[in-house]
């Protein structure tokens, strides 16, 4: 989330955030980038003029900030929705993932498949 917060800030958005446990290196990174980070979850952490709130996948109903977003009827997005709407839309994308398998079934470092741009649709 921190890297996406910085990327949004670099696109002109005003970004703030909250986390239960704030610690380096991410806290230092965000501080150097000028992003205000509050420790703990409180409804008051959400700015009164917030237009969009990104809710992390670990947040659930009962979280004071989630409840405030719902009560205030604010637009909220998940991290994947932010990536799609603000970074990926209109571009050709290549997504690389992996599954967790037993050690003997894992891919070796040299076993990646190279895709040419013409192969990606």
Where do the structural domains in the chain lie, given as residue ranges? 2-92
Fold for 2-92, please state it.
Rossmann fold (3.40.50)
- Cβ count within 10 A of residue 45: 18
Average pLDDT over residues 86-113: 67
- Sorted by sequence, the CB contacts under 8 Å of residue 25 that are 6+ apart come out as none
Look up the pTM and report it.
0.74
If pLDDT is split at 50, 70 and 90, which confidence band does 14 have? Answer: very high
Model pLDDT for residues 47-77, shown as the tens digit of each residue: 999 999 999 998 999 999 999 999 999 999 9
pLDDT value of residue 33: 96
What is the radius of gyration, based on Cα positions, of the chain? 18
pLDDT number for residue 59: 93
| Residues forming beta bridges with residue 76, ordered by sequence position | 53
Q: Decide if 54 contacts 79 (C-beta within 8 A).
A: yes
């Amino acid at each position: 989330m921190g890297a996406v917060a910085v990327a949004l800030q670099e696109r002109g958005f005003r970004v703030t955030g909250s986390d239960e446990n704030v610690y380096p290196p991410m806290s230092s990174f965000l501080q150097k980038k000028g992003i205000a980070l509050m420790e703990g979850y409180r409804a008051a952490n959400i700015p009164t003029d917030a237009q969009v709130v990104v809710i992390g996948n670990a947040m659930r109903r009962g979280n004071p900030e989630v409840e405030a977003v719902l009560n205030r009827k604010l637009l909220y997005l998940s991290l994947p929705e932010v990536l799609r709407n603000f970074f990926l839309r209109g571009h050709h994308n290549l997504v690389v993932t992996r599954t967790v398998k037993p050690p003997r079934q894992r891919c070796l470092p040299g076993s990646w498949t190279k895709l040419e741009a013409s192969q990606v649709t």
